[in-house]
């Protein structure tokens, strides 16, 4: 009876609680939920950070899963972006704080590649690397794209007849020196000496297989040993990454570089692996890789990884970039080299 006499507005005010007053207030529950919600994206952030920092710990024994992860390692940055969106939608402070870990790890590993390429002219050589494809319908046009970058050296793979003649004719005016061994070739503005076949053939490959050459380039800055190589392809299958031949060939190439007597070495090639892939460790452990630029080169239609590499010993590989598409399924890459 008395309840009916109390105005409804007064009853409504009396039913309100002061925010933060008492343990069961609505505001207190809201404050706590900012930290308690979003545990799943926070856990995913921790896993992403772990994969970035400890990718070498992922075993390669079964399906070469470690190498498969390392091929696409830079793309884990997209996971950080996606998880950030989830954390904001969930209004989870826990997830946002956890995302600092993978963000810092990605920045440490790849952030430097996003920096500017340095002062124009602050380098000694420009080199171009390109797998031209044995099915390229326009070798002459491809040669013009490569020459437009005005490199000192051009390394090509998958050279076959009659396309080889087209490359030789198109490049001859600007590159009077060249050497071809098997399906790989080197064009140079500077004289070449000591040209020889480089044996990087895995034991399991039958029949003729010539995919490497070595030459000495006489540059104004001194002699450079130039290596051109095309390592075996890898395949992604249901069982994992099939890369044993590539890994064996990389080991042979790494031993050749280690035995090279010329102090400065530049390696250009389709290595069918990224610089993070442990399968290329026989090379990356001995040589410097690009300091600036991602230059994804394969597949040309939607580049996901750079498997066309420029590495150097006793020299610095500065900025690396992709060139315009040609008739190949790879994009060409151009890099600046600073000699020491």
The domain ranges of the chain are 23-113, 118-339
Mind listing the pLDDT tens digit of every residue in the chain (340 residues)? 444 444 545 445 544 544 444 444 445 545 557 677 889 999 999 999 999 999 999 998 888 899 999 999 999 999 999 999 999 998 899 999 999 999 999 999 999 999 987 666 689 999 999 999 999 999 999 999 999 999 999 999 999 999 999 999 999 999 999 999 999 999 999 999 999 999 999 998 988 899 999 999 999 999 999 999 999 999 877 767 889 999 999 999 999 999 999 999 999 999 999 999 999 999 999 999 999 999 999 999 999 999 999 999 999 999 999 999 999 999 999 999 999 8
**Pairing state of beta strands 153-157 and 184-188?**
antiparallel
Is residue 103 within 8 A of residue 49, CB to CB? The reply is no
pLDDT at residue 301, rounded to an integer: 96
pLDDT at residue 30, rounded to an integer: 54
pLDDT at residue 242, rounded to an integer: 84
**What 3-state class would DSSP assign to 10?**
helix
pLDDT at residue 141, rounded to an integer: 97
Query: What does the DSSP 8-state code read for residue 306?
Result: -
Nearest to 303 by CA among 316, 284, 322: 322
Query: Is it true that the peptide bond before 196 is cis, omega within 30 degrees of 0?
Result: no
Q: What residues have CB less than 8 Å from 183, skipping those under 6 apart?
A: 134, 157, 158, 159, 160, 210, 211, 230
pLDDT at residue 21, rounded to an integer: 46
**What 3-state class would DSSP assign to 63?**
coil
Q: Tell me how many degrees the CA angle 315-319-325 measures, rounded to the nearest 5.
A: 120
pLDDT at residue 340, rounded to an integer: 80
pLDDT at residue 116, rounded to an integer: 85
Query: Is it true that the peptide bond before 96 is cis, omega within 30 degrees of 0?
Result: no
pLDDT at residue 36, rounded to an integer: 76
The listed CATH number (3.60.110.10, 3.40.30.10, 3.60.10.10, 3.30.70.340) that belongs to domain 118-339: 3.60.10.10
Residues 54-77 as b or e (16 or more Cβ within 10 Å = b) = ebeebebeebbebbbbbbebbebb
Whole-angstrom Cα distance, residue 167 to residue 139? Answer: 6
């Amino acid at each position: 009876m008395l309840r009916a006499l109390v105005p409804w507005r007064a009853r409504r005010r009396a039913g309100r609680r002061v925010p933060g007053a008492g343990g069961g207030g609505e505001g207190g529950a809201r404050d706590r939920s900012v930290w308690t919600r979003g545990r799943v994206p926070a856990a995913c952030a921790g896993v992403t950070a772990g994969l970035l920092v400890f990718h070498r710990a992922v075993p390669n024994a079964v399906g070469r899963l470690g190498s498969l992860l390392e091929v696409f390692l830079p793309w884990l940055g997209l996971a950080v972006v996606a998880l950030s969106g989830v954390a904001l939608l969930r209004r989870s402070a826990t997830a946002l704080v956890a995302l600092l870990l993978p963000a810092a790890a990605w920045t440490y590993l790849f952030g430097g590649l996003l920096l500017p390429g340095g002062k124009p002219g602050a380098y000694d050589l420009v080199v171009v690397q390109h797998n031209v494809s044995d099915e390229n319908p326009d070798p002459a046009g491809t040669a013009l794209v490569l020459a437009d970058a005005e490199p000192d050296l051009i390394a090509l793979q998958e050279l076959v007849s009659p396309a080889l003649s087209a490359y030789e004719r198109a490049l001859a005016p600007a590159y009077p020196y060249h050497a071809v061994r098997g399906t790989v070739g080197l064009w140079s503005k500077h004289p070449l000496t000591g040209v020889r076949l480089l044996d990087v053939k895995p034991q399991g490959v039958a029949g003729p297989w010539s995919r490497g050459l070595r030459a000495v380039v006489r540059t104004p800055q001194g002699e450079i040993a130039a290596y051109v190589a095309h390592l075996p392809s890898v395949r992604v299958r249901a069982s994992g990454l099939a890369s044993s031949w590539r890994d064996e060939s990389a080991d042979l190439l790494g031993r050749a570089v280690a035995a090279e007597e010329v102090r400065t070495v530049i390696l250009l090639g389709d290595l069918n692996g990224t610089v993070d892939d442990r399968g290329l460790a026989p090379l990356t452990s001995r040589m410097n890789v690009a300091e600036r630029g991602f230059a994804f080169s394969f597949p040309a239609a939607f580049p996901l990884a750079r498997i066309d590499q420029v590495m150097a010993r006793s020299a610095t590989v500065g900025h690396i970039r992709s060139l315009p598409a040609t008739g190949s399924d790879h994009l060409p890459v151009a890099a600046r080299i600073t000699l020491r």
